[in-house]
Amino acid sequence: MSDEINGQMYPVLIGLMGCGKSSIGRLLAKELGLTFLDLDHYIVEKAGQTIPGIFAEQGEEGFRDLETRALREVLGTPVVIASGGGVVMREENRTLLEAHAPVIWLKSSLHFLANRIQGDKNRPLIAGRDALTVLQQLAEVRYPYYTQCADYILHRGEMNKAASLHAVLEYLKQWKYENS
C-alpha cells in the first residue's frame, strides 16, 4: 500500500473530529523533521474563508470539493498531514488514501471525543447539536472507511498525547524498516 519513493515517509492522520490529528500531527512532524500540514487550515487559507463560512455559503458538498482538491495537491509531498474527519467520505479521496502510506487512524471512544468537541463553534457538523449523537452517526458510516484507508489503527484508550505520539513513532519505525 505504498506510493512512496526511496522509502520516504509522509504520514497522514485520519479519524473523527477531536481525536488529536492536529496536535499529534504537529508533534509527529517535529519528530520526523517534516512540515506539518493541517488540511482544514490549507483549505481555509486557499478559500479565504472559515470552515463555518464555507459550509454556510457552499454547503457541505462545496466544502468536500475543496477538500478533495486540497488532498490531491498535498498528498505525497514531504509533510505530515492532519486531515479533516470527513475526508474519507468521498470515494475519490479513499482511493487516494488507499494508494498512499502510511495512513494512521487515531481511534478514541466517542464519549471522549464528544467531551472534547461539544460546543466548538468552528465545527459546523455539530453546531447546535448533541456532539455524541452526531459522532455516533458519523462513526457508523465512517468507521468502515477509516478501516479501509488506514495502514495502522492507534486505539488511544486512555493514552495521553505523549503516549500516543510514542506509539505512532514505534509503528513508523517498523514501517520505515519494512519499506526501505
Give the footprint of ligand S3P on this chain (CB under 6 A). 17, 21, 40, 51, 84-86, 123-125
Rounded Cα distance between 76 and 111, Å, is 33
Cα–Cα distance between 177 and 6 in angstroms, integer?
12
Nearest approach in angstroms of CB 17 to ligand S3P is 4
Q: How far is the CB of 58 from ligand S3P (least distance, A)?
A: 12
* Closer Cβ to ligand S3P, 44 or 172, answer by number: 44
Distance CA 49, CA 69 (A): 16
Minimum distance between the CB of residue 78 and ligand S3P, rounded to whole angstroms?
Answer: 21
Residue closer to ligand S3P, measured from CB, 51 or 75: 51
| Nearer to ligand S3P among residue 131 and residue 175 (C-beta) | 131
Instruction: Give the Å distances, CA to CA, from 66 to 46, 48, 117, 168.
Output: 9, 12, 23, 28
SS3 104: strand
Smallest separation (angstroms) from ligand S3P to the CB of 142: 8
- Least separation in angstroms between residue 167's CB and ligand S3P is 20
What is the 8-class DSSP label of residue 78? Answer: S
Residues in the chain: 180
Q: What is d(CA 148, CA 63) in angstroms, rounded to the nearest whole number?
A: 23
Name the residue nearer to ligand S3P (CB basis): 84 or 102: 84
Q: Nearest distance from residue 82's CB to ligand S3P, in Å?
A: 7
Please give the grid coordinates belonging to residue 59. Answer: 454547503
Residues 134, 84, 165, 12, Cα dihedral to 10°: 140
Nearer to ligand S3P by Cβ, of 54 and 175: the residue is 54
Residue nearer to ligand S3P on the CB measure, 2 or 68: 68
